[in-house]
A = this chain, B = another copy of it.
Amino acid sequence: MNRPLKGRGADKVTRRSTNSVTLDDVAAHAGVSPQTVSRVIRMPDLVSPSTLETVQRSIAETGYVPNLAASNLASNRSMTVAALVPAVSYSVFADTIHGLDAVLSPKGYHLFIGSTEYDREREEGLIRAFLGRRPDGIVVVGTEHTPAARALLKGSNVPVVETWNWTEDPIDSLVGFSNRDASAALVDFAHERGYRHPAFGGWLTGRDSRAYERRIAFEQRVAELFPGESIRVVDAGTQGISIEAGRALLERTLHEYPETDVLMCASDIFATGALLEAESRGIDVPGQLAICGFGDFELSRHLSTPLTTVTTPNLEIGRRAGEVLLQRMLGESSEPTTLDLSFQLAARDSA
């Protein structure tokens, strides 16, 4: 070990708490300067072939693993991206994370994942904490945040991509689609097909802004297309987004609004539960009651009565968000990007 530059005399105890190999160790081993080792790692083209080989052998022999925290500090680039999702285990967001990772990972970026649990305060806390990591980019699901969270993100000087929603006033970049339009399109569809008594089912007490927008759009569109018709909205209850809750949803709909002829669910999960429950009860779908979902899960097209639903760009949101971030991080663009990935109506047998 040799550290010619630093005062490593017999005077003080060193703080070298880590026992891992450092750049200096490799440099000493190879008989070159630390800077050269650094170059070998980051811009090998600028190093002569012979030095390159020597140093690379030293790296291998010492088992050197560069400390990225130190690199981060010195270069002011962390090569990390922070992603905030409502829940990691909901497949739609897992897909988005996957897409994000698929784009960023090949470029050397690592992903920090945080789960907001649909809680804005929690989101704010996570943003604050993640900002301390100095990520090179931030991806958040949703466009509604606490004022403080918004200010934090805006003032952070870090490229931000909001996703999964649509707004005229994004913090920075935006990659999403209009949940309102999608929901309205479903009402239009039901109207065209001749249904007369639509109901909406979802997790109403939750803080899921996407589900909320779907509901609001449902209400508005129903008021427009079905004048005089009452606005039927049913709560899926407190079990979160589950098939069980979907079953309960059907039961409640039947009880509260027996006249319903088409039930539009805020998620395919609910719709699947509702469909299964209808089957158990011998209710003919779509004859007696039509059912629509939202999200187009793989299962939906395979159900005994394939589900009419809205296809959302789950994975694509992640991919495009990653690309938008990459452009900013690599300095190819300095302008915010807004990308409407839209949705598709998948008309199948259930409605």
Contacts and interface: CB of A to CB of B under 8 A. Distances in A.
Interface in A58-113: 63, 65-70, 72-73, 76, 78, 80, 87-91, 94-95, 97-98, 101-102, 105, 108, 110-113
Nearest to A314: B89
B111 A302 contact: no
A76 B69 CA distance: 10
Contacts of A73: 67, 69-70, 73
A310 interface: no
Interface stretch (A171-179, A191-199, A272-280): A272-280
Interface stretch (A131-139, A329-337, A340-348): A131-139
Contact of A279 (B88, B242, B276, B304): B304
A267 to B, nearest CB: 13
A68 B19 contact: no
Interface string A22-53: 00000000000000000000000000000000
A61 B242 CA distance: 44
A115 interface: yes
Nearest to A157: B19
A155 interface: yes
B299 A299 contact: yes
Contacts of A280: 304
A129 B111 CA distance: 12
Contacts of A132: 65-68
A2 interface: no
A88 B65 contact: no
Most buried by B among A65, A128, A131, A299: A65
Contacts of A97: 88-89, 113
Contacts of A67: 73, 132, 134
A243 interface: yes
A298 interface: yes
A130 B110 CA distance: 8
Nearest to A247: B302
Contacts of A63: 155
Contacts of A101: 88, 113-115
A298 B63 CA distance: 45
Contacts of A66: 132
A157 B69 contact: no
Interface string A166-196: 0000000000000000000000000000000
The 7 closest A-B pairs by CB, nearest first: A89-B98, A69-B72, A68-B132, A89-B94, A94-B94, A243-B302, A69-B73
Interface of A: 17-20, 63, 65-70, 72-73, 76, 78, 80, 87-91, 94-95, 97-98, 101-102, 105, 108, 110-115, 128-134, 155, 157, 242-244, 247, 272-273, 276, 279-280, 298-299, 302-304, 315
Given A97-B113, A112-B112, 5 more contacts: A88-B94, A89-B97, A89-B98, A89-B315, A91-B94
